[in-house]
Amino acid sequence: MEFGGTGQAGNNVHKTFFGAIADDFTGATDLAGLLARSGVPVSLRMGVPETPPTDSSPFEIIALKCRTAPVEEAVSETQAALDWLRRAGAQRYFWKYCSTFDSTARGNIGPVAEALMNALGTDQTVYCPAFPENGRAIFMGNLFVGEQPLAESPMKDHPLTPMRDSNLMRLLRPQVTHPVGLVNRLVVAKGATALRGELQRLRADGIAHVVVDAVSNDDLHVIADACRDMTLMTGGSAVAMPLPKLWLEEGLICRDHAVGRARAEAGPAIVLSGSCSAMTNRQVSAYLASGHPGLRLDPLDLAEKGEGSAAEWLSSRSPDQTPIIYATAEPDEVRRAQERLGVERAGAVVEQTLAACAVKARDLGFRRFVVAGGETSGAVTKALDIRKLDIGSEIAPGVPWCFARTAGHEVAITLKSGNFGGEGFFTDALERLGT
């Protein structure tokens, strides 16, 4: 097992100890929110920073928009992020992807992991997208969403990464060049020492990519304990959650750092939803049913007429309203739009419009933004030119309020992965912030 450093408390403690790279923006905030539970400051960078790491935090996360990018582009972006994190002094690294293992047969989960392993000089890493608090579990290498195998869950109809196999080894093998193996739940249940020994045995057999079962938070603690010294771990956010406590106990990190901003200017709120997940469909319906004004975006209409009418609708809203602009739709509607426009264009016209609405809302005085969907979150934060987020309290597991600056204004923003949160998430988010 390759180690990333041997620093102890005192002069060898690096300001940045843990560096993570996330393949989308909601996934990055998911990870940031769970790490922030430790009380250790977390900084989230939107894209690779253009400036050197002179103001880094103990935990640094770089959010990219590379989940569905061409493989070569994804590898290049993640390597640039790795370079920045190394300059910041990071000693442990994490490649964060979705808890439903969103990827295609080409990648990008495996190719990026392998590129990071090569750059860091390590010959083994683990894969654990489990998130029991949100109903994601891995048993005998198969990923479950609630009680459904991944391939039988609503993820089978994802518009960009339809998941038609539940077995993580089969999903991973076409994406990597080195052998793939499994540490199953029976080993994990024996504890960290047994898991560490099994990883060493697999490593001796040349197994570079190891899927690790987890069905409960206790399993995640075992995995974190066994892998705390690995140079690179990969997975969903939940497997990283126990790490801060372990490193605090070792004296590798400390809490005595200044905490970033946690405030926003007064102003109304807006909900922007591009996710078409089953849960977001229910969340949108619940929000509309509670009496909030809403505008549904139709990709076909946007492709023909542009985004002007959405901006006009937003401008006509009363300041005391909390509107929602959404492209959330059922799978059959999504497929019809994709058949007419193509998958990429159907998604792009929606993202562009929601991003333009975010900028329009900011310019109209909106200062609180609830954004649903990974691709939408990336488009919105880029349009608002948000470079860094400071992490606040969680609204739901893995979904925190964040605070940022855009065009000289202090705003609050939450970026929600499609399937996260309960049906009342949008209302819960606004109530949590006092809106």
pLDDT (tens digit, 9 = 90+) per residue, 70-118?
A: 999 999 999 999 999 999 999 999 999 999 999 999 999 999 999 999 9
Q: What does the buried/exposed string (b/e) look like for 39-62 if buried means 16 or more CB atoms within 10 Å of the residue's CB?
A: ebbbbbbbbbbeeebeebbbbbbb
Q: Residue 102 has what pLDDT?
A: 95
Q: Residue 78 has what pLDDT?
A: 98
CA distances from 373 to 281, 308, 344 (A): 11, 22, 16
Q: Measured over all CA atoms, what is the biggest interatomic distance in the chain, rounded to whole angstroms?
A: 66
Which tens digit of pLDDT belongs to each residue from 361-375? 999 999 999 999 988
Is the pLDDT assigned to residue 2 strictly greater than 50?
Answer: no
Structural contact between residues 419 and 134, judged by C-beta atoms closer than 8 angstroms: yes
| The token pair that represents 420 in the structure block | 């996260």
Q: Which ranges in 40-191 belong to alpha helices (H)?
A: 71-87, 109-120, 168-172, 185-188
Structural contact between residues 152 and 225, judged by C-beta atoms closer than 8 angstroms: no
Nearest to 183 by CA among 219, 140, 143: 140
Which tens digit of pLDDT belongs to each residue from 408-417? 999 999 999 8
Q: How many CA atoms lie within 13 A of 396 on its CB side?
A: 22
Mean pLDDT of 388-410: 91
> What 3-state class would DSSP assign to 36?
helix
Structural contact between residues 35 and 244, judged by C-beta atoms closer than 8 angstroms: yes
Q: Over pLDDT 90: what percentage of the chain?
A: 74
Assign domain 269-432 to its CATH architecture: 3-Layer(aba) Sandwich (3.40)
Structure letter (DSSP) for residue 3: B
Whole-number Å distance between alpha carbons of 218 and 239: 10
Q: Residue 393 has what pLDDT?
A: 85
Which tens digit of pLDDT belongs to each residue from 199-212? 999 999 999 999 99
Q: Residue 1 has what pLDDT?
A: 36
Q: pLDDT averaged over the chain?
A: 91
Q: Residue 260 has what pLDDT?
A: 52
> What 3-state class would DSSP assign to 394?
strand
Higher confidence at residue 12 or residue 81? 81
Q: Residue 156 CB: number of other CB atoms within 10 A?
A: 17
φ, ψ at 297 (rounded to 5°): -95, 130
Q: Which ranges in 5-156 belong to alpha helices (H)?
A: 25-36, 71-87, 109-120
Is the pLDDT assigned to residue 289 strictly greater than 70?
Answer: yes
Please give the model's pTM, rounded to 2 decimal places. Answer: 0.81
The domains spanning 18-250 and 269-432 adopt the same CATH topology: no
CA distances from 434 to 125, 264, 267, 296, 412 (A): 42, 11, 11, 26, 11
Q: For the packed helices 308-315 and 343-363, what is the interaxial angle rounded to 10 degrees? A: 30
Which tens digit of pLDDT belongs to each residue from 354-363? 999 999 999 9
Residues facing 21 on adjacent strands: 62, 95
φ, ψ at 121 (rounded to 5°): 70, 30
Structural contact between residues 63 and 380, judged by C-beta atoms closer than 8 angstroms: no
Is the pLDDT assigned to residue 12 strictly greater than 50?
Answer: no
Is the pLDDT assigned to residue 5 strictly greater than 70?
Answer: no
Whole-number Å distance between alpha carbons of 80 and 329: 35
Higher confidence at residue 342 or residue 213? 213
pLDDT band of 262, cuts 50, 70, 90: low
Nearest to 366 by CA among 384, 379, 391: 384
Which tens digit of pLDDT belongs to each residue from 119-167? 999 999 999 999 999 999 999 999 999 999 999 999 998 888 999 999 9
Higher confidence at residue 59 or residue 13? 59
Map out the domains of the chain as residue ranges: 18-250, 269-432
Which tens digit of pLDDT belongs to each residue from 266-276? 999 999 999 88
Does CATH number 3.40.50.10840 belong to domain 18-250?
Answer: yes
399-406/388-396 β-pairing: antiparallel
Lowest mean pLDDT among 126-135, 249-258, 311-320: 249-258
| The token pair that represents 416 in the structure block | 């929600």
**3-state secondary structure string across 283-347:** HHHHHHHCCCCEEECCHHHHHHHCCHHHHHHHHCCCCCCCCEEECCCCHHHHHHHHHHHCHHHHH
Q: Over pLDDT 70: what percentage of the chain?
A: 95
